Amino acid sequence: MVIDLTRSEKTTFFRFLFLYLASSLILMLFVAFFYYQNEKTLYIDLVKSNMQNIISKASNEVIVSHMMQQKFDKEKYLNSNEYKISFYDKNQNFLFGNLKENIDFSSKFIFNDNYLILIDTSTVGHLGIEYIVLKDSSLMKKIEELKFSIITIFVFSYLFISIVGIYLAKLFLKPIKEERIKLNNFIKDTTHELNTPISAIIMSTQNENLNAKQIERIRLSANRISEIYKDLTFIFLENKQKIIHLEELDLSIIIKEQIDSFEPLYLKKKLEVIYKLEPTVFEINKDDFIRLFNNLFSNAIKYNKMNGKIEIVLENRVLSVKDTGIGINKEKLKDIYKRYYRATNQSGGFGLGLNIVNMICKTYNIKVEVNSLENKGTIFNLEFK
């Protein structure tokens, strides 16, 4: 069953998702920008260092050739595809080379986004060469490749972050949907639970002269409404800070009273109720124990089969409530104490009874165990320490 979010919930959800994606985008842009600037500077330094090595090597060969009176092998420098180089005399006149551009000899280093030019004077006039000018054009290509790599990584990283964000948002949304489904089912079930006894009361009071059967029907319906009200009050309206009045109670007496009060209900389903009650004193609030027992006993009636049986045993400080009802699937046993949870689709109840049982048991340190087999029955054991 799917329940759509309300308009305000959708607005909040999409605002959260937008804020997450927008903040991630801004952060990644900052990271990408500074990474690009850092890598670009590193590229420039590497290219510049490589150019200085080439010029230094060429200058050394010029000086050695002049001193050894050998021919300078200029061809190996002029045939490179990575750079262009030219040699100039002391008057800045072009001697030879493959770089034929107007050069500003006042600067030793010329840089723009397209190229780097390095001007060296370390030959000090050997072979008539005063200036060596080297131009590297590979920088632009390297920077373009850097941009492409950063953009590619950025796009895929942001896409991954977006997918993760949407996935996390769905995980965040899932429990909200589940709770809304539970709440919706709870409202429907509560309406159904209240409608049955109210309808019975209305039908029974249509005649002015009520017979004993109609009066009994009204009494049962009123008791049922009272039980629903008490359950809802215990869960939602009870002041948890109030002082609980504890009493030394003989649990067997209270259990017998409650069994008698449920007689019209279990007789209606032709159930056999067998009980063996040993006097057992326990310190507990009386209303809480009644709520505890009534929820277990009413479930044993509600989910039992026609002509079934209920066994209630209180001995050795252990209360057992056993029925021959529809039972509970083994995989669902771990969830039966959750609020609004119902282990069966059978009508009746709205998932509060066992939650109340669990709450009371925790409050008074009562150990509760349950064993159940589908289509065989269920047994609850409560140990009063």
Report the alpha-carbon distance of residue 339 to residue 359 in Å, rounded.
10
pLDDT band at 144 (very low <50, low <70, confident <90, very high): confident
Average pLDDT (217-231) is 73
Residue 263, SS3 per DSSP: helix
Which of the residue ranges 206-220, 225-239, 317-331 would you say has the lowest mean pLDDT?
A: 225-239
Query: CB-based contacts of 136: which residues, under 8 Å, 6+ apart?
Result: 47, 50, 51, 82, 83, 115, 116, 117, 118
Pick the more confident residue, 359 or 114: 359
Model pLDDT, residue 350: 54
Gap between the Cα atoms of 366 and 47, Å rounded: 79
User: What does the pLDDT read at residue 113?
Assistant: 67
pLDDT of residue 237: 58
Residue 335, pLDDT score: 73
Tokens linked to 54: 């080439």
CA separation, residue 10 to residues 39, 163, 170, 180, 184 (Å): 42, 19, 12, 14, 18
- In the structure encoding, which two tokens stand for residue 260, read together? 């008698």
**120 strand-pairing partners:** 132
| DSSP structure class, residue 306 | T
Measured distance CA(5)–CA(16) in Å, rounded: 15
User: Which of 141-145, 162-166, 188-192, 281-285 is predicted least confidently?
Assistant: 188-192
Residue at 148: amino acid letter = F
Mean pLDDT in residue range 303-324: 93
From CA 34, how far away is CA 18, in angstroms rounded?
24
The alpha carbon dihedral of 117, 119, 122, 126 has a sign of positive
pLDDT-above-70 percentage for the chain:
88
pLDDT-based confidence at 1, cuts 50/70/90?
A: very low
Cα separation, 370 vs 381, whole angstroms: 6
Predicted structure pTM score: 0.50
Report residue 176 CA to chain centroid gap: 11
% of residues, the chain, pLDDT over 90 = 26
CA-CA distance, 125 to 169, in Å (whole number)?
72
Lowest model confidence (mean pLDDT) among 43-52, 310-319, 327-336: 327-336
pLDDT of res. 364: 92
pLDDT level of residue 309 (50, 70, 90 thresholds): very high
**Domain ranges (residues) in the chain:** 1-197, 238-384
Architecture of domain 238-384: 2-Layer Sandwich (3.30)
Q: What is the mean pLDDT of the chain?
A: 83
Token pair 């090597």 is found at 57
Residue 323, both tokens:
């029925």
Q: Which of 17-26, 35-44, 206-215, 319-328 bottoms out in mean pLDDT, i.e. has the lowest? A: 206-215
Lowest mean pLDDT among 157-166, 185-194, 292-301: 185-194
Distance of CA 330 to CAs 1, 226, 333, 372, 379, Å?
23, 32, 5, 7, 13
What mean pLDDT is predicted for residues 275-284? 94
Q: How far apart are CA 142 and CA 154, in angstroms?
A: 18
User: In 322-347, which positions are buried (b, 16+ CB within 10 angstroms) versus exposed (e)?
Assistant: bbbbbbbeeeeeeebbebbebbbeee
> What's the DSSP call for residue 128?
G
Please say if the pLDDT value at position 229 is more than 90: no
pLDDT of residue 29: 93
- CA 184 to CA 158: how far, in whole Å? 38
- pLDDT tens-place string over residues 2-51: 446 667 767 777 888 888 889 999 999 999 999 988 988 888 888 888 88
Let me know how long the chain is: 385
Rounded to an integer, what distance in angstroms lies between the CA atom of residue 156 and that of residue 150? 10
